[in-house]
Structure 1
């Protein structure tokens, strides 16, 4: 039997955040077993950390699939690793990712995506997500469709057709609206087993990449997400010189014994 740390990443104060399972004892665990644990926990992602090498290796699983990169698992992993040893990098499917961990939170730094293109605003209209003022497709390497909506109220009122979204050619859809330095966002990834994600660090990277592509070469934003799924969350993101930093607060709720 092994333990799993249950965190909430990107909390808004002491509330909300995106739940994350972190497993550091991988003895005898196959990829199939990791996927089964992630499905049983049912969080947006669970991260498995192999700390036997000089740079810890993270494998990240949604309830339905392994993914090469995701923000809140790496922020949570960085926070846990900061309590365990002197590490300052964690490896994943996109390479080594620098992180900074503090008592109440953690931050990761990754290159902005250069694979950004404008997308027709009607791309997701058939899934109930019409009315966008602008759109981009960003590869991280998973493909995200970003749709800028007219107002935060429109983002909050969106009612997507999850079955239709699951069949699209991209893996995740971010709706967002900017208002005085704050972004109201929602993220949907039914193809990955996540209908609506409470807080999506990778989507924050995608948004910074898209804004840089559109001419905002540096900047910072606070992203509020998760209210519609009763998990109010807050992500801080800033970008400059082709790099994006994403982070926020982390809370540990419990250490749970797994049955595997």
Structure 2
């Protein structure tokens, strides 16, 4: 019988953050079995360690499909390993590339993204219609881009916190749009200060209306800010507040490394959330 651990990532409370399933021994499971388990768990992602080695292969499944990289499930898996083996370093081999993760004595995990990239977002009228936003809702100081740090995310910044709070979109329409552009989530952003942002992440491609904490999008957003010349050494992202699952994500940008570091805690969930 496959043992599935459950963790809430980017929080210190089991009822906060983003729940993730973690399977530390997925040897012998095929794609169909991993997808079935992820659907049964019902979280936005479940991580599967498929081999015990110095560089550990990991795969991520939403209830609907496999995704190349998932930040919150990576943090959850690293913390689960640290609780079993002690704090330290681990390198995960993901479909997006190698992702080193360190876990300190307080069980705070820091992942280092794959090489990021940022590109033009293209025409926006259709996605704004799907979101029921107008062009006037956008913040001109943070222009739309598609950012990548293991998975692709469309970054859209709104001028007001209220616009971010009033999330009401066409689920099927956004699903089709995201599949066409190979997007994992939308990173919807409101800037509180140069170093503090509030974000929401619709995730219809995973069968989820909204993700309460998205480490992959946080890494991509760090790359986005650096590309715009607005990156700070440390950036704080608040996510999940509007869902009642508050999450805290720290993003670190280093001048000598284009990769982005994303940090957070994770705690066990004793019963399905």
| TM-score between both structures, scaled by the size of structure 1 | 0.90
8 Å contact kept, 1:81–1:87: no
CA distance 1:13–1:19, shift in 2 (3 Å): closer
Deviations 1:57-86 (A, max 9, x none): 111001111111111111111112223346
**Correspondences of 1:116-131 after superposition (within 5 Å):** 116-122=119-125, 124-127=127-130, 128-130=132-134, 131=137
- List, as ranges, runs of 4+ consecutive aligned residues in structure 1 with deviation greater than 3 Å: 12-15, 84-87, 118-123, 139-142
Partner of 1:137: 146
Kept in 1: contact 2:7–2:14 (CA 8 A): no
**TM-score, normalised via structure 2 length:** 0.86
Structure 2 unaligned segments of length 5 or more: list them: none
Deviation at 1:26, TM superposition (A): 1.8
Gaps of 5+ in 1: none
Distance in 1 separating the partners of 2:89 and 2:11: 24
- Displacement of 1:200: 0.4
Change in 2 beyond 3 A, CA 1:142/1:108: closer
Q: 1:63-102 maps to which residues of 2 (within 5 A)?
A: 63-85=63-85, 87-102=89-104
Q: Is the counterpart of residue 179 in structure 1 residue 192 in structure 2?
A: yes
CA distance in 2, matches of 1:142, 1:92: 11
Residues 224, 16 of structure 1: alpha-carbon distance in 2 compared, 3 angstrom cutoff:
same
Other structure's SS at 1:73 match: helix
User: What SS class does the counterpart of residue 43 from structure 1 fall into?
Assistant: coil
Q: Equivalent residues in 2 for 1:105-120 (5 A)?
A: 105-120=108-123
How many residue pairs align between the two structures?
256
> Shift of residue 255 of structure 1?
7.8
Q: Deviations over 1:176-233 (max 9, x none)?
A: 0111222111001202212100000111111111111111354321111112222111
CA distance in 2, matches of 1:35, 1:113: 27
Q: How far apart are the structure 1 equivalents of 2:37 and 2:138?
A: 37
